[in-house]
Amino acid sequence: MLTKSKKGIFATLAVLTLVTATALTGCGDGASTSSSGDTIQIGALVDKSGKGADWGRKNEIAMNIAVEEINASGGINGSPIELLVRDTNGRNEEAVNLTRSLAGQGVAAIVGPFFSGECEVAFPQANQLQVPIISPSSAKAGISENNRPWAFRNSMTDDKLLREATPRFVKAFDVKTVVVLHDERDAWSKAVGTDDLPREFKAAGVEILNEGNYFSFNTGETNFSAIVTQVRNLNPDAIAFGGLYNEAAAFAREMERQGLKIPVLGGVGMYAGALIQQGGTAVENFVATSSWNVDSEDEQARSFVEKFKPQAAQITPADPLPGSFEANHYETIYMIAHVLEQAGVDHTTPTEEVRLALRDGFANLKDFKGITGLTSIDEKGDGIKTIYPLVVREGRFEILE
Amino acid sequence: MLLLQQLINGLMQGSIYALVAIGYSLVFGVLNLLNMAHGEVFMIAGFVGLLLILALDLPIYLAIPAAMAAAALLGVIIELLCFRPIKKEFHLAPVVSTIAFGTVLVSLTVNFIGSEPQVFPAHVNIGDFSVGGILISGTELLMFAIAITLMVLLTFMLEKTKTGRAMRAMAENEKAAQILGVNVKRIIITTFAISAALAGIAGILVGLRFGVISPFVGATIGLKALAVMVIGGLGNIYGAMVAGLLLGMLEAATVVIPGLSPYVDAVIWGFLVFVLLFKPNGLLGTRVQAERV
């Protein structure tokens, strides 16, 4: 009897240990790497184990390529860069904690976090601790603006991207009516699907057939049968889709199944090789916005794609090409290096001075030449970048003319 | 026409919930235990099916039983690891340990396969067909048929077979059943294997129907199945079936009724609270033995 109850206690303990262990593995590389003091440290927040794990791992590859290149060419004014990568698990609270701990370790800046939801809580924290934070991926309008002067984004927000892309889409497909739907659980998607897309379509004189009744779904949804049936019944010329590429591909497959063949416009979150990989023939005439063109002729861009492909193939064999997020992560490291070089910073410069130099350098960045083209930072702290509305034609993204 | 198509859409989605919830209900009805890793069994079975199709080019009629077998094995492992070593009196412990086990499964899948949904090859599917302009998915119809058949078979088994009688006896009173010569350990393992196999067949069929399987699908489907089980009546197999179909139709209804689309979760969980207010034991009452006088 005694042994039995002991067994039970042991099992419970074992379980608790297991739970704690899994909880801990979610916190990234817990231990801080002790800096040897002769490097410039840059923190990075990526999601390596959560909903965006494949993205996070590829973002890390992109940043490491940049760090290796910069260090190989002598670092920043002679000081090599050291990248401290932390795993947020895609969770907002983790992004806040890690922002705090990286700031405490004296990093020059933090690159990330990945999701707009994470940025909404990590940016205020960085702003309060006075450490520059630069997200290469978040695109929901207003997040940097609310956290001046320390928060920046090397990405185009959707309001700007869609202001450019929507009229082009409307013209290319002769769109007079549209139906709007969005992902209710994802901060970025909801903003695109309820603000940016409807606003731009209305501005282009397009009628929204489900005004006041926007359809919505939850992140991870695969069954779009009811929504597609409803959309088909409204018979629009096109669809405005506020969602990420996984859901877009699932939606496309259901469209194809129910014989609904109309063009679809989405934002940056819909631009990924995986959209075509998962959607196959169903994503023909899907248009996504991006500020990165993977077929760029730029020499540095091409060398980056070549270095990136073999490493990314180990994570997503079906989709090894860098998307706009990976390109922006690579570019952001170069941006930081550029600003610090201009300011004459090296590893002996006190942390506070390094951070101030970055804050002011980023705020005044004009026409920085990176692999995505020319980038400037506007008064809101967001990137002004080249815009590519990309349409899927016969299984490839092409620039929509 | 539109409403009929939506009704079919809802029924088909509901048969997925029913299939997963029947397995949930079986374990709860017989053993009074909650297996919180049930959704992850569904997910793993989907991946096993996909890997077999990709690696061995298995035809569907072989991949489905293989995925079921893998799921059954996983069910047995869960019983041995998370339930057997823990005393019956610690009601919360198996719940926590199966949550942990499910989390480990998700984490392993993310690390070995990736966080992105994996795609089923396009040529592997059971086609759709159209009846008078209404589109019906062959896969979903199969799922619907399987759910109905299993419900009937399980009920028959519980009522008429020796194993079923033993299961009912266990549901009634485990100690007494043991004294009367029921091989309790064997019955528990059997129950888990059947329950997991049901989640397994749902997992691979859902993968085939929607063309993808994601490592994170278990949490969503597991929670929905739990709701279905509670709404239908804890441990009641008919209840799980009825509530599953009801929930699927309710989801489709939120798309049809203007303005309700963003509130789909509120509607489903609100419905659960509403049902329990008026029928605290769920729609059809609780537990396996409740069907007997």
Residue A177 sits in a domain whose CATH number is 3.40.50.2300
Residues B224-279 pLDDT 10s: 999 999 999 988 889 999 999 999 999 999 999 998 999 999 999 999 999 999 99
Q: Is the pLDDT of residue A198 over 90?
A: yes
So what's the pLDDT on residue A20? 44
Q: Which two tokens stand for residue B235?
A: 């441990």
Q: What is the mean pLDDT of residues A113-136?
A: 97
Mean pLDDT along residues A207-229: 94
pLDDT reading at A9 higher than 60: no
Q: What is the mean pLDDT of residues A99-116?
A: 96
pLDDT of residue B73: 97
- Residue B287: its pLDDT value, please? 56
Nearest CB to A220: which of B9, B217, B252? B217
Inform me whether the C-beta atom of residue A194 falls under 8 Å from chain B C-beta atoms.
Answer: no
For residue A51, tell me if it sits in a domain.
yes
Q: Is the residue at A276 inside a domain?
A: yes
Q: Give the Cβ contact number of residue A308 at 10 Å.
A: 21
User: What is residue B272's predicted lDDT score, i.e. its pLDDT?
Assistant: 94
For A301-351, the pLDDT digits (tens) are 999 999 999 999 999 988 899 999 999 999 999 999 999 999 999 999 999
Confidence grade of residue B286 (pLDDT, cut at 50, 70, 90): low
Judged by average pLDDT, the poorest of A235-239, A304-308, B158-162, B192-196 is: B158-162
How confident is the model over B133-142, as pLDDT tens digits? 899 999 999 9
Instruction: Give residue B289's pLDDT band: very low, low, confident or very high (50, 70, 90).
Output: very low
Q: Which of B3, B40, B5 is nearest to B20 (CA)?
A: B40
Same domain, A206 and A276: yes
Tell whether A270 and A340 lie within a shared domain. no
Q: Which residues of A touch B264 (CB under 8 A)?
A: 216, 218
Please report the pLDDT score of residue A153 as a whole number. Answer: 97
CB contact under 8 A, B210 and A230: no
pLDDT surpasses 50 at A78? yes
Give the nearest partner residue to B110 out of A18, A49, A216, using CB atoms: A49
Task: State whether A300 and A280 are in the same domain.
Answer: no
Q: Taking 50 as the threshold, does the pLDDT of residue A35 lie above it?
A: no
A357: contact with B, CB 8 A cutoff: no
Q: Is the pLDDT of residue A26 over 50?
A: no
Give the integer Cα–Cα distance in Å for A154 and A329: 8
Shortest distance, CA A9 to any CA of chain B (angstroms): 8
**Is residue A184 located within the same domain as residue A303?**
no
A36 CB burial (10 A radius; 0-12, 13-18, 19+): exposed
Q: Are A109 and A132 in contact (CB under 8 A)?
A: yes
Q: What mean pLDDT do residues A169-179 have?
A: 97
User: Based on the domain organization, do A279 and A379 belong to the same domain?
Assistant: no
Q: What is the mean pLDDT of chain B?
A: 90
Mutate to test the interface with B, among A222, A227, A228, A255 (most CBs of B within 10 A): A222
Residues of chain B neighbouring A257 (CB-CB closer than 8 A): 128, 135, 137
- Whether residues A346 and A276 share a domain: the answer is no
CA distance B149 to chain A (A): 24
Residue A68 has pLDDT above 80, yes or no: yes
pLDDT above 70 (res A130): yes
Mean pLDDT of A220-228: 94
Phi, then psi, of A92 in degrees rounded to 5: -60, -45
The pLDDT of residue A10: 46
Q: Give yes or no: residues A200 and A116 share one domain.
A: no
Say if residue B107's pLDDT is above 50: yes
Nearest-neighbour CA in chain A from B292: distance (Å): 34
- Whether A361 and A343 have beta carbons less than 8 Å apart is answered as yes
pLDDT at position A4 is: 44
User: So what's the pLDDT on residue A24?
Assistant: 41
Q: What confidence score (pLDDT) does residue A193 get?
A: 94
What span, in angstroms and rounded, lies between the C-alpha atoms of B109 and B215? 6
Which of B110, B116, B220 to mutate: most A Cβ within 10 Å?
A: B116
Q: Average pLDDT, whole number, for chain A?
A: 90
Widest CA span of chain A, in angstroms? 79
Give yes or no: residues A191 and A237 share one domain.
yes
Whether residue A228 is contained in a domain is answered as: yes
B115 interaction partners in chain A (CB closer than 8 Å): 50-55
- Write down the pLDDT at residue A37: 76
Phi then psi for A315, rounded to 5 degrees?
-100, -50
A77 close to B (CB below 8 A): no
Q: What is the pLDDT of residue B173?
A: 84
Q: Are residues A229 and A310 in the same domain?
A: no
Q: What is the pLDDT of residue B126?
A: 84
pLDDT score, position A13: 44
In this prediction, residues A161-182 reach a mean pLDDT of 96
What pLDDT is stored for residue B122 in this prediction?
79
For B117-158, write each residue's pLDDT tens digit. Answer: 999 987 877 888 888 889 999 999 999 999 999 989 998 998
Task: Specify if A14 maps to a domain.
Answer: no
B90, A278: Cβ pair inside 8 Å?
Answer: no
Q: Which of residues 235-264 of B touch A (CB under 8 A)?
A: 251-252, 255-256, 258-259, 261-262, 264
What pTM was estimated for this model as a whole?
Answer: 0.87
Contact B254, A221 (CB under 8 A): no
Q: Is B117 on the interface with A (CB under 8 A)?
A: yes
Residue pairs between chains A and B whose CB atoms are closer than 8 Å: 130
* Nearest Cα residue in chain B from A54: B115
Domain range enclosing A127:
40-156+296-385
Between B287 and A253, whose confidence is greater?
A253
What's B1-278's CATH class?
Answer: mainly alpha
- The residue ranking higher by pLDDT, A200 or B176, is A200
My answer on whether A171 and A249 are in the same domain is yes
Domain count within chain A: 2
Q: What is the pLDDT of residues B37-53, one digit of tens each?
A: 999 999 999 999 999 99
Give B171-177 contacts, CB < 8 A, sequence gap 24+. B171/B29, B171/B30, B171/B31, B171/B32, B171/B235, B171/B287, B171/B288, B171/B289, B172/B289, B174/B88
Residue A34 domain-assigned (yes or no): no
Comparing A13-27, A67-81, A95-109, the range with the smallest average pLDDT is A13-27
